[in-house]
Chain A
Amino acid sequence: MKNEELIAKMKAIVQPYVQDEGAFNELSEETTFVGDLKINSANLVDIILDVEDEFDIRIDNEEMEQMLSVKAAMAIVNSKIAT
């Protein structure tokens, strides 16, 4: 999957939980979920479940620990769908 396509999908997934619209409009690979988008940590698990469903993958606990930025989420998705 192309990076642009992946970012677009990630953007759609996180949108319902975003509390900083400005940061959302400027979303890039470097954007962090909690620090930049001000997503409440109670919703991090929802994002992970939404990512699992969107890409039909399963994310284990060790991978989940790192999934705090668009970049980290994309790396995990890529490693699962590249095969």
Chain B
Amino acid sequence: MIGNDIVDLEFAKCNSRWQEQRFLDKLFNTDEQDFIRSDDQQFQNIWRLWTMKESVYKITSRAGGRVRFNPKDFKCAVINSIQGRVFYKNVSVSTFTKTHQKFIQTTAFLKSQWTSKIFQFSSADYNAQHSESVRHASKAYAAYKNVPNKSVTIIKNPTGIPQFYINGEVQKEQLSLTHHGHYGACAFNVLKS
């Protein structure tokens, strides 16, 4: 099981009410807010924790459409600037965060064999970005499987989860796609052969 989430930091800065206490209170528990205020990186810390929660939300839902908006049920523990854990009900999920000047991306995983790739979009249009994401993810998967790019396709199953196909045959590796602002990312399991 894998999930990933990206936040475009420039986009988030002007497109969100992150500076308000009410914003923090709706998303973060007390100890999470303590972490957010623990240094002068409050803005980055907010989005670090947000991508942790979202990436784990994607693992726990793994289905089409948002069924619930309950960010406070996902409790974050930060281990260091990269690693973290998120507790949801009786499950605990490891997270791995990449922090860049322009974006923050977190992958949540139950098994430690996975890979992720971040890409910058050339278009601001949602649908164009979606096809760009699919193209980037297909390419990354083709490289990992050592097969031609054009043999890989990504098709959403009836519950809205994207799946890899090689020459029309569904593959076992799970895929998670995300995009926000000008950035997108994919993460998928790497199976031992």
Contacts and interface: CB of A to CB of B under 8 A. Distances in A.
Q: Do A and B come from one complex?
A: yes
Interface of A: 16-17, 19-20, 32-35, 38, 40-46, 48-49, 52, 61, 64-68
B66 A41 contact: yes
B16 A35 contact: no
A5 B66 CA distance: 26
By secondary structure, the A interface counts as helix
Most buried by B among A20, A38, A40, A52: A40
Interface of B: 7, 12, 15-17, 20, 22-23, 26-27, 50, 54, 64-72, 126, 180
B126 A19 contact: yes
A61 B126 contact: no
B66 A49 contact: no
B70 A35 contact: no
A64 B69 contact: yes
A64 B155 CA distance: 32
Contact of B180 (A34, A40, A45): A40
B7 A42 contact: yes
Most buried by A among B22, B66, B69, B180: B69
